[in-house]
Amino acid sequence: MLTKKHTSKTPRLLLAASSGGHIIELFALKKFWSKYPRIWATYKTPQTLDLLKNEKVVWLKHPTNVRSIKDMKNAINSFINVPILWYSMLKFNFTHVISTGAAPGVSAIWTAKILYLGRIRSIFIESLTRSKNLSFSGWLNYYVADKFLVQWPSLAKRYKRAKYIGKVL
């Protein structure tokens, strides 16, 4: 967890993912992220309340999905989440944003890139379910994330900035 006491060389992580499969994939990387001070950015759902009960969490406004014109009001929540994320980045001095997807990852990576002029490094891990094409959140983060990681070799061949890392789950 993040505390005021940390060295300047210690990575400080913001782990951003929506609930469901995205947060499960990010949680599967516990062997990696558990070594570092961290805060999660996600939606308050029964799944995340249980999964992250011992973690520090920044709760984001949802829903944010827009599948049709009638869902456009949900897009406003993504914009509401930007100042929440910006304040968290300012307060906790993160060094890295890591995301496995959907709207929290897009908002966190873009906020870090634009408001912190690239001083916060970002890593986007495309969903295991995406074997042929990028997800919408992957597409939005493809050129913005410092590292763009995929779980299928076919995606790494198709998208030149992508690096194949194997399966997370």
Q: Is 48 helix (H, G, I), strand (E, B) or coil?
A: helix
Helix (H) or strand (E) holding 59: strand 57-60
Q: Where are the domains of the chain?
A: 13-164
pLDDT at 8: 64
Cα three-residue angle 47-49-82, rounded to 5 degrees: 95
- Digit-by-digit pLDDT tens for the chain (169 residues) are 454 444 568 999 999 999 999 999 999 999 999 999 999 999 999 999 999 999 999 999 998 877 777 788 888 888 899 999 999 999 999 999 999 999 999 999 999 999 888 899 999 999 999 999 999 999 999 999 999 999 999 999 999 999 999 998 7
Q: Which residues are CB-neighbours of 79 under 8 A, at least 6 positions away?
A: none
pTM over 0.75: yes
Q: Is 152 left (phi over 0), alpha (psi -120 to 50) or beta?
A: beta
- For 13-164, which CATH superfamily applies? Glycogen Phosphorylase B; (3.40.50.2000)
Chain segment 10-19, per-residue pLDDT in tens: 999 999 999 9
